[in-house]
Amino acid sequence: MTSEKFTVEKVLSIQRWTNNLFSFTMTRPAHFKFTAGQFARIGIMVDGELIVRAYSLVSSPYDEILEFFSIVVPDGAFTSRLQHLKVDDELYLEKIPYGYLTLARYQQPAPKDLWLLATGTGLAPFLSMLQDFSTWQHYQQIFLVYSVRSQAELAYVARIKEIHESFGENHPNFCFIPVITRDATATLNQRLPILIENGQLEQVAGQNFNVDSSHIMLCGNPEMVEDTKEALKRRGLKMNRRGEGNIAVENYW
Protein backbone atom coordinates (compact mmCIF):
# COMPACT_ATOMS: atom_id res chain seq x y z
CA MET A 1 0.00 0.00 0.00
CA THR A 2 2.75 2.45 0.91
CA SER A 3 4.53 2.23 -2.42
CA GLU A 4 1.32 2.67 -4.41
CA LYS A 5 -0.39 5.44 -2.47
CA PHE A 6 2.42 7.26 -0.64
CA THR A 7 5.82 8.79 -1.21
CA VAL A 8 8.48 9.00 1.46
CA GLU A 9 9.48 12.60 2.24
CA LYS A 10 12.01 14.22 4.58
CA VAL A 11 11.43 16.73 7.36
CA LEU A 12 13.22 20.00 6.58
CA SER A 13 12.45 22.21 9.59
CA ILE A 14 10.47 22.39 12.83
CA GLN A 15 9.02 25.47 14.55
CA ARG A 16 7.76 25.02 18.11
CA TRP A 17 5.24 27.67 19.14
CA THR A 18 4.20 26.28 22.55
CA ASN A 19 4.43 22.94 24.35
CA ASN A 20 1.46 21.67 22.36
CA LEU A 21 1.68 23.60 19.07
CA PHE A 22 4.31 23.20 16.38
CA SER A 23 4.81 23.57 12.63
CA PHE A 24 7.01 21.54 10.32
CA THR A 25 8.08 21.58 6.70
CA MET A 26 8.89 18.65 4.46
CA THR A 27 10.03 17.95 0.93
CA ARG A 28 7.43 18.24 -1.82
CA PRO A 29 7.40 15.71 -4.65
CA ALA A 30 7.07 17.23 -8.11
CA HIS A 31 3.79 15.43 -8.79
CA PHE A 32 1.99 16.74 -5.68
CA LYS A 33 -0.40 19.47 -6.81
CA PHE A 34 -3.05 21.03 -4.59
CA THR A 35 -5.46 23.94 -4.36
CA ALA A 36 -5.17 26.45 -1.50
CA GLY A 37 -7.41 25.23 1.33
CA GLN A 38 -6.96 21.52 0.68
CA PHE A 39 -5.41 18.98 3.06
CA ALA A 40 -2.88 16.18 2.76
CA ARG A 41 -2.77 12.78 4.43
CA ILE A 42 0.50 12.24 6.29
CA GLY A 43 1.69 8.94 7.73
CA ILE A 44 4.23 7.67 10.23
CA MET A 45 5.32 4.08 10.68
CA VAL A 46 4.69 2.70 14.18
CA ASP A 47 5.71 -0.89 14.92
CA GLY A 48 5.38 -1.80 11.29
CA GLU A 49 1.95 -0.18 10.91
CA LEU A 50 1.34 3.01 8.95
CA ILE A 51 -0.75 5.53 10.93
CA VAL A 52 -2.23 8.30 8.79
CA ARG A 53 -3.86 11.63 9.67
CA ALA A 54 -5.24 14.58 7.67
CA TYR A 55 -3.41 17.92 7.82
CA SER A 56 -4.35 21.16 6.07
CA LEU A 57 -1.53 22.72 4.11
CA VAL A 58 -0.06 26.02 5.27
CA SER A 59 2.01 26.33 2.10
CA SER A 60 1.16 28.25 -1.00
CA PRO A 61 0.24 25.97 -3.92
CA TYR A 62 3.39 27.34 -5.59
CA ASP A 63 5.88 26.67 -2.78
CA GLU A 64 8.70 24.20 -3.34
CA ILE A 65 8.16 22.67 0.12
CA LEU A 66 5.12 21.63 2.15
CA GLU A 67 4.30 23.16 5.55
CA PHE A 68 1.88 21.94 8.21
CA PHE A 69 0.61 23.20 11.58
CA SER A 70 -0.06 20.63 14.31
CA ILE A 71 -1.38 20.34 17.83
CA VAL A 72 -0.14 17.66 20.23
CA VAL A 73 -2.96 15.39 21.39
CA PRO A 74 -1.96 13.87 24.76
CA ASP A 75 -1.51 10.11 24.35
CA GLY A 76 -2.54 10.41 20.70
CA ALA A 77 -1.27 7.56 18.54
CA PHE A 78 -0.09 10.03 15.91
CA THR A 79 0.82 13.44 17.35
CA SER A 80 2.42 12.02 20.49
CA ARG A 81 5.07 10.67 18.10
CA LEU A 82 4.93 13.44 15.52
CA GLN A 83 5.86 16.02 18.17
CA HIS A 84 9.32 14.46 18.44
CA LEU A 85 10.14 15.03 14.77
CA LYS A 86 13.70 15.91 13.87
CA VAL A 87 15.18 17.32 10.69
CA ASP A 88 15.77 14.53 8.13
CA ASP A 89 13.17 12.23 9.69
CA GLU A 90 10.96 10.46 7.15
CA LEU A 91 7.22 10.92 6.73
CA TYR A 92 4.78 9.32 4.33
CA LEU A 93 2.75 11.60 2.07
CA GLU A 94 -0.30 10.35 0.20
CA LYS A 95 0.10 11.21 -3.47
CA ILE A 96 -3.16 13.11 -3.89
CA PRO A 97 -4.63 16.01 -1.84
CA TYR A 98 -8.18 16.13 -0.53
CA GLY A 99 -10.81 18.62 0.54
CA TYR A 100 -13.33 21.16 -0.66
CA LEU A 101 -12.56 24.13 1.61
CA THR A 102 -11.45 26.11 -1.43
CA LEU A 103 -12.57 29.42 -2.83
CA ALA A 104 -13.51 27.74 -6.11
CA ARG A 105 -16.58 26.27 -4.41
CA TYR A 106 -18.22 29.70 -4.32
CA GLN A 107 -20.37 30.56 -7.33
CA GLN A 108 -23.08 32.68 -5.69
CA PRO A 109 -22.94 35.21 -4.20
CA ALA A 110 -20.15 36.71 -6.30
CA PRO A 111 -16.90 37.40 -4.37
CA LYS A 112 -16.82 40.64 -2.43
CA ASP A 113 -16.06 40.21 1.30
CA LEU A 114 -14.21 37.12 2.56
CA TRP A 115 -14.30 36.04 6.21
CA LEU A 116 -11.78 33.39 7.34
CA LEU A 117 -12.66 32.23 10.88
CA ALA A 118 -10.21 29.88 12.59
CA THR A 119 -9.35 28.39 15.93
CA GLY A 120 -5.98 26.81 16.69
CA THR A 121 -4.43 24.87 13.82
CA GLY A 122 -7.51 25.65 11.72
CA LEU A 123 -5.53 28.71 10.65
CA ALA A 124 -3.50 26.56 8.23
CA PRO A 125 -5.75 26.48 5.12
CA PHE A 126 -6.40 30.19 5.39
CA LEU A 127 -2.67 30.97 5.35
CA SER A 128 -2.47 28.90 2.18
CA MET A 129 -5.32 30.88 0.59
CA LEU A 130 -3.71 34.18 1.52
CA GLN A 131 -0.52 33.09 -0.25
CA ASP A 132 -2.40 32.84 -3.51
CA PHE A 133 -2.51 36.12 -5.47
CA SER A 134 -5.95 35.29 -6.88
CA THR A 135 -7.49 35.57 -3.39
CA TRP A 136 -6.45 39.21 -3.15
CA GLN A 137 -7.55 39.92 -6.70
CA HIS A 138 -11.07 38.53 -6.25
CA TYR A 139 -12.06 40.08 -2.91
CA GLN A 140 -12.54 43.72 -2.04
CA GLN A 141 -12.36 43.01 1.71
CA ILE A 142 -10.69 40.16 3.61
CA PHE A 143 -11.07 39.46 7.33
CA LEU A 144 -8.86 36.87 9.03
CA VAL A 145 -10.22 36.03 12.49
CA TYR A 146 -7.97 33.82 14.62
CA SER A 147 -9.19 32.59 18.01
CA VAL A 148 -6.83 31.05 20.59
CA ARG A 149 -6.86 30.58 24.35
CA SER A 150 -3.72 32.53 25.26
CA GLN A 151 -1.35 35.09 23.75
CA ALA A 152 1.35 32.41 23.51
CA GLU A 153 -0.85 30.35 21.18
CA LEU A 154 -1.21 33.22 18.72
CA ALA A 155 1.08 31.65 16.11
CA TYR A 156 2.08 33.00 12.71
CA VAL A 157 1.34 36.67 13.54
CA ALA A 158 4.57 37.93 11.94
CA ARG A 159 3.98 35.64 8.97
CA ILE A 160 0.47 37.04 8.48
CA LYS A 161 1.94 40.54 8.25
CA GLU A 162 4.54 39.34 5.74
CA ILE A 163 1.87 37.61 3.65
CA HIS A 164 -0.23 40.78 3.58
CA GLU A 165 2.74 42.83 2.45
CA SER A 166 3.99 40.31 -0.12
CA PHE A 167 0.81 38.89 -1.61
CA GLY A 168 -1.76 41.55 -0.77
CA GLU A 169 0.63 44.38 -1.61
CA ASN A 170 -0.75 46.12 1.46
CA HIS A 171 -4.31 45.51 0.27
CA PRO A 172 -6.09 48.41 2.07
CA ASN A 173 -9.08 46.33 3.10
CA PHE A 174 -7.37 43.43 4.89
CA CYS A 175 -8.15 43.09 8.60
CA PHE A 176 -6.48 40.61 10.96
CA ILE A 177 -8.58 40.13 14.10
CA PRO A 178 -7.08 38.09 16.98
CA VAL A 179 -9.38 36.65 19.64
CA ILE A 180 -7.84 35.49 22.96
CA THR A 181 -10.50 33.74 25.00
CA ARG A 182 -8.61 33.45 28.30
CA ASP A 183 -7.32 37.00 28.40
CA ALA A 184 -9.79 39.41 29.95
CA THR A 185 -7.73 42.36 28.70
CA ALA A 186 -7.94 41.32 25.03
CA THR A 187 -10.16 43.42 22.77
CA LEU A 188 -12.11 40.26 21.90
CA ASN A 189 -12.07 37.46 24.46
CA GLN A 190 -15.19 35.38 23.95
CA ARG A 191 -15.93 32.38 21.73
CA LEU A 192 -16.63 33.14 18.09
CA PRO A 193 -20.34 32.18 18.22
CA ILE A 194 -20.86 34.64 21.08
CA LEU A 195 -18.97 37.39 19.25
CA ILE A 196 -21.28 36.86 16.29
CA GLU A 197 -24.42 36.80 18.42
CA ASN A 198 -23.56 39.99 20.31
CA GLY A 199 -22.25 41.83 17.25
CA GLN A 200 -18.77 42.50 18.66
CA LEU A 201 -16.93 40.75 15.82
CA GLU A 202 -18.63 42.87 13.17
CA GLN A 203 -18.10 46.00 15.27
CA VAL A 204 -14.33 45.42 15.44
CA ALA A 205 -14.22 44.50 11.74
CA GLY A 206 -16.21 47.57 10.78
CA GLN A 207 -18.26 45.38 8.44
CA ASN A 208 -21.45 43.34 8.79
CA PHE A 209 -22.09 39.87 7.47
CA ASN A 210 -24.25 40.11 4.36
CA VAL A 211 -26.20 37.27 2.77
CA ASP A 212 -25.76 38.94 -0.64
CA SER A 213 -21.98 39.39 -0.54
CA SER A 214 -20.21 37.48 2.28
CA HIS A 215 -18.17 34.33 1.82
CA ILE A 216 -17.47 32.84 5.27
CA MET A 217 -15.12 29.92 5.90
CA LEU A 218 -14.78 28.05 9.20
CA CYS A 219 -11.93 25.77 10.25
CA GLY A 220 -10.75 24.48 13.62
CA ASN A 221 -12.29 22.92 16.69
CA PRO A 222 -15.38 20.90 15.63
CA GLU A 223 -17.47 22.39 18.43
CA MET A 224 -16.52 25.92 17.33
CA VAL A 225 -17.34 25.11 13.73
CA GLU A 226 -20.76 23.72 14.60
CA ASP A 227 -21.71 26.50 17.02
CA THR A 228 -20.41 29.27 14.75
CA LYS A 229 -22.21 27.78 11.77
CA GLU A 230 -25.49 27.82 13.70
CA ALA A 231 -24.91 31.40 14.90
CA LEU A 232 -24.37 32.51 11.31
CA LYS A 233 -27.44 30.66 10.09
CA ARG A 234 -29.53 32.45 12.71
CA ARG A 235 -28.33 35.67 11.08
CA GLY A 236 -29.82 34.53 7.77
CA LEU A 237 -26.60 33.33 6.19
CA LYS A 238 -26.75 30.06 4.30
CA MET A 239 -24.59 26.96 4.00
CA ASN A 240 -22.74 26.70 0.69
CA ARG A 241 -24.16 23.83 -1.34
CA ARG A 242 -23.50 23.16 -5.01
CA GLY A 243 -21.74 26.48 -5.30
CA GLU A 244 -24.42 28.66 -3.74
CA GLY A 245 -24.47 30.07 -0.22
CA ASN A 246 -22.27 31.89 2.28
CA ILE A 247 -20.85 29.38 4.79
CA ALA A 248 -18.20 26.74 3.97
CA VAL A 249 -16.62 24.20 6.33
CA GLU A 250 -14.25 21.27 5.84
CA ASN A 251 -14.97 17.59 6.40
CA TYR A 252 -11.68 15.78 6.87
CA TRP A 253 -12.96 12.21 6.56
30, 59, 94 - which closes a domain: 94
Are residues 147 and 69 located together in one domain of the fold? no
What pLDDT is recorded for position 78? 82
Number of domains in the chain: 2
Are residues 87 and 119 located together in one domain of the fold? no
Burial class (CB in 10 A: 0-12, 13-18, 19+), 201: buried
- For 16-57, the pLDDT digits (tens) are 999 999 999 999 999 999 999 999 999 998 888 899 999 999
pTM, to two decimals: 0.94
Are residues 235 and 127 located together in one domain of the fold? yes
Taken as a whole, the chain contains a residue count of 253
pLDDT band at 252 (very low <50, low <70, confident <90, very high): low
With b for 16 or more beta-carbon neighbours within 10 A and e for fewer, the 144-169 pattern comes to: bbbbbeeeebbbbeebbeebbeebbe
Are residues 215 and 154 located together in one domain of the fold? yes
Are residues 184 and 129 located together in one domain of the fold? yes
Are residues 149 and 198 located together in one domain of the fold? yes
What pLDDT is recorded for position 232? 98
Are residues 64 and 147 located together in one domain of the fold? no
CATH number at residue 147: 3.40.50.80
% of the chain residues with pLDDT over 70: 97
A 10 A CB-CB count for 22 gives: 21
Mean pLDDT score of the chain, rounded to an integer?
93
- For 111-170, the pLDDT digits (tens) are 999 999 999 999 999 999 999 999 999 999 999 999 999 999 999 999 999 999 988 776
Mean pLDDT across the stretch 163-189? 90
Are residues 115 and 238 located together in one domain of the fold? yes
- Cα separation, 218 vs 240, whole angstroms: 12
77, 94, 111 - which closes a domain: 94
Q: Which domain holds residue 57?
A: 2-94
CATH number at residue 9: 2.40.30.10
75, 94, 113 - which closes a domain: 94
Are residues 150 and 232 located together in one domain of the fold? yes
Q: What is the DSSP string of 80-114?
A: HHHTT--TT-EEEEESS-B---SGGG--BSPSSEE
Are residues 23 and 107 located together in one domain of the fold? no
Are residues 130 and 54 located together in one domain of the fold? no
Are residues 119 and 242 located together in one domain of the fold? yes
